[in-house]
């Protein structure tokens, strides 16, 4: 993998770490992404010069939601919309 040197901000909710644009999230947040979603990111990641696919955009959102759900757990009496969304997304990917 070539490092382009361009930087962007970690995609995790509330994180301002500046990281190389080759990476979706900083090391700390990437560690929290479930393995199945990491695999999905690698499988759908756009090649250099390609536009990101819908699947990739969806997977990115699922990663952001998964990390957010771990870092900001919703109170038990409130509907866990992030978890529901994530479940919906992974179901859509499986079928």
Site membership for Zn ion, residue 24 (CB under 5 A): no
Residue 2 falls in which region: left (phi positive, over 0), alpha (psi -120 to 50) or beta? beta
Buried-state track 40-58, b at ≥16 Cβ within 10 A, e below 16 = bbeebbeeeeeeeeeebeb
Q: Which x/- pattern over 68-87 shows residues binding Zn ion (rule: CB under 5 A)?
A: --------------------
Helix pair angle (35-44, 54-71), 10° resolution: 160
Options 13, 22, 23, 26; binder of Zn ion; rule CB under 5 A? 26
Pairing of strands 7-9, 18-20: antiparallel
Options 6, 9, 13, 17; binder of Zn ion; rule CB under 5 A? 17
Options 12, 60, 62, 69; binder of Zn ion; rule CB under 5 A? 12
Q: How far is the CB of 71 from Zn ion (least distance, A)?
A: 10
Catalog residues that contact Zn ion under the rule CB under 5 A.
10, 12, 15, 17, 26, 29
């Amino acid at each position: 993998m070539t490092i382009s040197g361009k930087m962007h901000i970690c995609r995790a909710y509330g994180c301002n770490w500046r990281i190389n644009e080759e990476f979706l999230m900083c090391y700390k947040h990437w560690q929290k992404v479930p393995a199945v979603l990491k695999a999905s990111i690698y499988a759908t990641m756009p090649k250099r010069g390609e536009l990101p696919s819908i699947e990739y955009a969806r997977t990115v959102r699922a990663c952001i939601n998964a990390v957010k759900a771990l870092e900001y757990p919703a109170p038990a009496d409130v509907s866990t919309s992030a978890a529901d969304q994530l479940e919906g997304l992974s179901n859509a990917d499986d079928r």
